[in-house]
Homo-oligomer: A and B are copies of this chain.
Amino acid sequence: MAFLRTPEGVAMTQTGTPAARADTAVLSYAGLPNEQVSAANGFDYAFRQYGPATRPLILFQHFRGNLDNWDPALLDRLAASRRVIAFDNVGVGGTSGTTPDSVRQMATDALAYLDALGIDEMDLLGFSLGSFVAQEVALVRPWAVRRLVLASSAPQGAWGMHGWAPEVIAAVGSRMGNPAGYLDVFYSSSEASRSAGMASLQRMSSRNEDRDAATSWQTRLAQYDAVCDWGIPNDVLVHRVTSIAIPVFVANGDSDPMILPRYSHLLAGLIPDVRLKIYSDAAHGFLFQHHEEFARDVLNFLSEDP
């Protein structure tokens, strides 16, 4: 596969933002090369990127997910119009280091990666745990984030989400992989949702070469510590998101058992400039199940007039 690569691993334009690759229109996420960049914090970050030379859309992955856990069908739709960057944060998958146990540190680590790429103007799409990190990045570096997509998200401190429901962490938190448990959390019990889930899993596994390193047990433990920390009830912290002044798109599945839709409503009630959409007959993996609809909604949101 023809692919331009600078010695730094990132093609740069004159304005300092990474450039589009000549052949990105024909690439699928499933065939992208793994790239790597060394950041000032000493860690080497694994990532994949493609799409035209727009303001980049940075993807923040879910609990225990690596680069291979993004559905190519969704990303290819996004990358048809936007530069899309997926990365492993510190300690996750192909990125060096150990995974920290707080969302705040994950944001710091993500910013070190973005600084290494020279990106200082960006849109963020965070999914689940990744949406917590994306919120944190938007709060810590408000001057650099233009638009924010929060998929299956919740504000820090919201009551009732501490550590997720027991059956949810049992399904996705076991030491060995548990595809049935994954399907139970990411898809509803309807046949339509289940078969969409199977199709999405198939697309994720279609990549045969250069798959990402599996996430470790250390990552699982530290990320779940961070999730539990985020969920400690604190009525005051819930209101942190009221200071996110950029446009935000909040999205969730109507029967997500991991992060309930109520928290999307809560975000929509707190964030000043917000759009909310709840996708029907869908659970945690609504964005993969409804990949066409969600990609269209995200692209429309990103191209809205300010």
Contacts and interface: CB of A to CB of B under 8 A. Distances in A.
A269 B262 contact: yes
A270 B266 contact: yes
Copies of this chain, complex-wide, total: 2
Contacts of A242: 159
| Chain A interface size range | 20 to 34
Contacts of A239: 159, 235, 238
- Which of A160, A264, A265 has the most C-beta atoms of chain B within 10 angstroms of its own C-beta? A265
A271 to B, nearest CB: 9
A306 B236 CA distance: 32
A159 B266 CA distance: 13
A27 interface: no
B274 A268 contact: no
Contacts of A263: 269
Contact of A265 (B236, B238, B272, B276): B276
Interface of A: 158-160, 235-236, 238-239, 242, 262-270, 272, 274, 276
26 contacts: A158-B269, A159-B239, A159-B242, A159-B270, A235-B235, A235-B236, A235-B238, A235-B239, A236-B236, A238-B239, A262-B268, A262-B269, A263-B269, A264-B269, A265-B266, A265-B268, A265-B269, A265-B276, A266-B266, A266-B268, A266-B269, A266-B270, A267-B269, A268-B269, A269-B269, A269-B270
